[in-house]
Chains A and B, each alone.
Chain A
Amino acid sequence: MSRLEILKTYKIYIGGQFPRTESGRYYPLKDKNGKLLANVCLSSRKDFRNAVVAARGAFGGWSGRAAFNRSQILYRIAEMLESRKAQFIAELQQQGSTAKAAEEEVNQSIDRLVYYAGWCDKYIQLYSTVNPVASSHFNFSVPEPTGVVAIIAPEDSALLGLVSVVAPCISGGNTCVVLASESKPLCSVSFAEVLNSSDVTGGVVNILTGTSKELHSHFSSHMDVNAIVYCRDNKDEIKKIQQNASLNVKRAFIYHKNWNSAEVENPYMILDLQEIKTTWHPIENIGAAKSSY
Chain B
Amino acid sequence: MTKKENPKLQFNTSWEYAPAPESTDHIRLKEKYDLFIDGKFVKPAKGKYFATINPATEQVLAMVAEADTSDVDKAVKAARKAYENVWKKMPPRERGKYIYRIARMIQERAREFAVIETMDGGKPIRESRDVDVPLAANHFFYYAGWADKLEYAFPNRNPQPIGVAGQIIPWNFPLLMAAWKIAPALAAGNTVVLKPAETTPLTALKLAEIIQESGLPDGVVNIITGAGATGAAIVNHPGVDKIAFTGSTAVGKIIINAVAGTNKKTTMELGGKAANIIFEDAPIDQAVEGVINGIFFNQGHVCCAGSRLFIQENIADKVIQKLKDRLETLIIGDPLDKNTDIGAINSKEQLATINKYIKIGINEGAEIYQSSCNLPKKGFWCKPTLFINVAQSSRIVQEEIFGPVLTIQTFRTIEEVIEKANNIPYGLSAGVWTDKGSKIFNLTTKLRAGVVWANTYNKFDPVSPFGGYKESGYGREGGIHGLMPYLNL
Contact = CB atoms under 8 A, between A and B. Distances in A.
Interface string B155-193: 111000000000000000000000000000000000000
B261 A280 contact: no
Interface in B294-310: none
Interface stretch (A14-22, A133-141, A191-199, A285-293): A133-141
Interface in A200-240: 226, 235, 238-240
Interface string B435-454: 00000100011001111111
B324 interface: no
Given A133-B461, A249-B253, A238 B261 contact: yes
Contacts of A129: 465, 479-481
B450 A275 contact: yes
B455 interface: yes
A243 B256 CA distance: 7
Given A133-B461, A139-B461, A242-B261, A276 B481 contact: yes
B414 interface: no
B379 interface: no
Given A278-B452, A280-B454, A281-B454, A246 B465 contact: no
The size bracket of the interface on B is 35 or more
B88 interface: no
A42 B466 CA distance: 43
B464 A139 contact: yes
Interface residues of A, number: 38
Which of B440, B455, B469, B471 gathers most chain A CB within 10 Å?
A: B469
Contacts of B261: 235, 238-239, 242-243
B259 to A, nearest CB: 7
A282 to B, nearest CB: 5
Interface in B245-282: 249, 252-254, 256-257, 259-261, 268, 270
Contact of B464 (A141, A248, A251, A266): A141
A278 B466 contact: yes
Contacts of B449: 277
B398 interface: no
B180 to A, nearest CB: 14
Contacts of B456: 137, 280-282
A23 interface: no
A249 B473 contact: yes
Which of A137, A239, A266 gathers most chain B CB within 10 Å?
A: A137
B465 A278 contact: yes
A141 B454 contact: no
Given A276-B450, A278-B452, A280-B452, A135 B257 contact: no
A266 B260 contact: no
B253 A246 contact: yes
Contact of B459 (A133, A243, A249): A133
A141 B260 contact: no
Nearest to A223: B425
B450 A278 contact: yes
B338 interface: no
A246 B256 contact: yes
B489 interface: yes
Contacts of B101: none
Contacts of A266: 156
A282 B465 CA distance: 17
A192 B71 CA distance: 56
A251 B476 CA distance: 13
Nearest to A132: B463
Contacts of B489: 268
Interface of A: 126-127, 129, 131-135, 137, 139, 141, 144, 146-147, 226, 235, 238-243, 245-249, 251, 266, 268, 275-282
Interface of B: 138, 155-157, 249, 252-254, 256-257, 259-261, 268, 270, 425, 440, 444-445, 448-456, 459, 461, 463-467, 469-474, 476, 479-481, 489
Enumerate the 3 nearest inter-chain pairs by beta-carbon distance, A residue then B residue, closest first. A239-B261, A242-B260, A246-B256
